[in-house]
Structure 1
Amino acid sequence: MTDDIAGLDGVGAAAGGEGRRGRGGASARRAARTQSGSGPKLTYITRRIPEYEVLNEEGISLIEANADTVLEEIGIEFRDDPEALAMWREAGADVKENRVRFPKGLCRELLKTAPRTFTQHARNPANNVQIGGKATVFAPVYGPPFVRDLDGKRRYATIEDFRNIVKLAYMAPAIHHSGGTVCEPVDIPVNKRHLDMVHAHMRYSDKPFMGSVTAPERAVDTVEMCRILFGEKFVDENTVVINLINANSPMTFDGTMLGALKVYARANQACIVTPFILAGAMSPVTVAGTLTQVLAEVLAGAAFTQLCRKGAPVVFGTFASSISMQSGAPTFGTPEPSLVSLGAAQLARRLGLPFRTGGSLCASKVPDAQAAYESANTLNSTLLAGTNFVLHAAGWLEGGLATCYEKFIMDCDQLGMMQRFSEGVDLSENGQALSAIREVGPGSHFLGCAHTQANFQTAFYRSTIADNNSYEQWLAEGEQRAENRANALCRKWLETYEAPALDAGIEEGLTAFIRRRKESEPDAFA
Structure 2
Amino acid sequence: MGENLAVDGQAGTGRRGRSERGGASARRVARGGGGPGAQQTYIRRRIKPYEVLDEESLSLIETNADRVLEEIGIEFRDDAEALQLWKDAGADVRGERVHFPKGLCRELLKTAPSQFIQQARNSERSVQIGGDATVFAPVYGPPFVRDLDGNRRYATIEDFRNLVRLAYRAPSIHHSGGTVCEPVDVPVNKRHLDMVLAHMTLSDKPFMGSVTAPERAEDTVEMCRILFGEKFVDENTVLINLINANSPMVFDETMLGAAKVYARNNQATIITPFILAGAMSPVTVAGTLTQVLAEVLAGAAFTQLVRPGAPVVFGTFASSISMQSGAPTFGTPEPALVSYGAAQLARRLGLPFRTGGSLCASKTTDAQAAYESANTLNSTVLAGTNFVLHGAGWLEGGLVSSFDKFIMDVDQLAMSQKLAEGVDLSENGQAMDAIREVGPGSHYLGCSHTQANFQTAFYRSIIADNNSFEQWQAEGEKTAPQRANELARRWLESYEAPPIDPGIAEGLEDFVARKKESMPDAFT
> TM bucket by the smaller chain?
over 0.9
CA contact (8 A) 2:35 2:171 kept: no
Deviations 1:379-411 (A, max 9, x none): 000000000000000000000000000000000
CA contact (8 A) 1:88 1:95 kept: yes
Q: CA deviation at 1:491?
A: 0.2
CA contact (8 A) 2:331 2:373 kept: yes
Q: Using the alignment, how far apart are the partners of 1:402 and 1:468 within structure 2?
A: 29
Structure 1, unmatched stretches of 5+, are 8-28
Which TM-score applies when normalising by structure 2? 0.94
CA contact (8 A) 1:2 1:462 kept: no
Counterpart of 1:131 in structure 2 is 129
SS in 2 for 1:274: strand
Q: CA deviation at 1:474?
A: 1.0
Deviations 1:286-345 (A, max 9, x none): 000000000000000000000000100000000000000000000000000000000000
CA contact (8 A) 1:37 1:496 kept: no
Counterpart of 2:220 in structure 1 is 222
What does 1:363-512 align with in structure 2 at a 5 Å threshold?
A: 363-512=361-510
**Residue 147 (str. 1) matches residue 152 (str. 2):** no
SS in 1 for 2:464: coil
The one-letter code of the counterpart of 1:198 is: V
Counterpart of 1:175 in structure 2 is 173
Q: Using the alignment, how far apart are the partners of 2:384 and 2:22 within structure 1?
A: 27
Counterpart of 1:24 in structure 2 is none
Counterpart of 2:267 in structure 1 is 269
Which TM-score applies when normalising by structure 1? 0.94
Q: Using the alignment, how far apart are the partners of 2:273 and 2:37 within structure 1?
A: 36
What does 1:227-242 align with in structure 2 at a 5 Å threshold?
A: 227-242=225-240
SS in 2 for 1:191: coil
Q: Using the alignment, how far apart are the partners of 1:2 and 1:406 within structure 2?
A: 28
Counterpart of 2:94 in structure 1 is 96
Counterpart of 2:69 in structure 1 is 71
Deviations 1:121-179 (A, max 9, x none): 00000000000000000000000000000000000000000000000000100000000
- Summarize the Cα distance change of 1:328–1:2 in structure 2 as closer, same or farther, 3 Å threshold: farther
Q: CA deviation at 1:39?
A: 5.4
Counterpart of 2:16 in structure 1 is none
Counterpart of 2:15 in structure 1 is none
- Summarize the Cα distance change of 1:493–1:59 in structure 2 as closer, same or farther, 3 Å threshold: same
SS in 2 for 1:50: coil
CA contact (8 A) 2:270 2:354 kept: yes
Counterpart of 1:313 in structure 2 is 311
Counterpart of 1:522 in structure 2 is 520
Q: Using the alignment, how far apart are the partners of 1:2 and 1:331 within structure 2?
A: 43
Deviations 1:198-237 (A, max 9, x none): 0000000000000000000000000000000001111011
TM-align CA RMSD: 1.6
Aligned length: 500
User: Runs ≥4 in structure 1, deviation > 2 angstroms?
Assistant: 1-5
Q: Using the alignment, how far apart are the partners of 2:38 and 2:514 within structure 1?
A: 39
Q: Using the alignment, how far apart are the partners of 1:337 and 1:209 within structure 2?
A: 27
Counterpart of 1:23 in structure 2 is none
SS in 1 for 2:177: coil
Deviations 1:457-493 (A, max 9, x none): 1101100100011111111111100000000000000
Q: CA deviation at 1:442?
A: 1.3
The one-letter code of the counterpart of 2:356 is: G
Counterpart of 2:199 in structure 1 is 201
Q: Using the alignment, how far apart are the partners of 1:402 and 1:155 within structure 2?
A: 9
- Summarize the Cα distance change of 1:2–1:390 in structure 2 as closer, same or farther, 3 Å threshold: farther
CA contact (8 A) 2:49 2:384 kept: yes
Counterpart of 1:18 in structure 2 is none
Q: CA deviation at 1:3?
A: 6.6
Counterpart of 2:248 in structure 1 is 250
Q: CA deviation at 1:524?
A: 0.2
Q: CA deviation at 1:243?
A: 0.1
Counterpart of 1:25 in structure 2 is none
Q: 2:44 aligns with which of 39, 46, 68?
A: 46
Q: 1:303 aligns with which of 268, 282, 301?
A: 301
SS in 2 for 1:95: strand
The one-letter code of the counterpart of 2:304 is: Q
SS in 2 for 1:454: helix
Q: CA deviation at 1:445?
A: 1.2
Q: CA deviation at 1:2?
A: 11
- Summarize the Cα distance change of 1:4–1:439 in structure 2 as closer, same or farther, 3 Å threshold: farther
Q: Using the alignment, how far apart are the partners of 1:393 and 1:142 within structure 2?
A: 9
SS in 2 for 1:77: strand
Counterpart of 2:13 in structure 1 is none
Q: Using the alignment, how far apart are the partners of 2:417 and 2:286 within structure 1?
A: 30
SS in 2 for 1:501: coil
Q: Using the alignment, how far apart are the partners of 2:320 and 2:256 within structure 1?
A: 26
Q: Using the alignment, how far apart are the partners of 1:168 and 1:436 within structure 2?
A: 40
- Name which of structure 1's ranges 304-313 and 38-47 shifts more when overlaid on structure 2: 38-47
SS in 2 for 1:69: helix
Deviations 1:267-291 (A, max 9, x none): 0000000000000000000000000
Counterpart of 1:339 in structure 2 is 337
CA contact (8 A) 1:4 1:457 kept: no
Counterpart of 1:191 in structure 2 is 189
Q: Using the alignment, how far apart are the partners of 1:257 and 1:243 within structure 2?
A: 10
Q: Using the alignment, how far apart are the partners of 1:72 and 1:248 within structure 2?
A: 19
CA contact (8 A) 2:118 2:126 kept: yes
Q: Using the alignment, how far apart are the partners of 2:221 and 2:384 within structure 1?
A: 30
SS in 2 for 1:264: helix
Q: 1:278 aligns with which of 276, 279, 282?
A: 276
CA contact (8 A) 1:363 1:397 kept: yes
**Residue 58 (str. 1) matches residue 56 (str. 2):** yes
Counterpart of 2:17 in structure 1 is none
SS in 2 for 1:258: helix
SS in 2 for 1:242: strand
Q: CA deviation at 1:456?
A: 1.0
Structure 2, unmatched stretches of 5+, are 1-20
SS in 1 for 2:337: helix
The one-letter code of the counterpart of 1:77 is: E
Counterpart of 1:355 in structure 2 is 353
Q: CA deviation at 1:37?
A: 5.1
Q: Using the alignment, how far apart are the partners of 2:24 and 2:35 within structure 1?
A: 15
SS in 2 for 1:48: coil
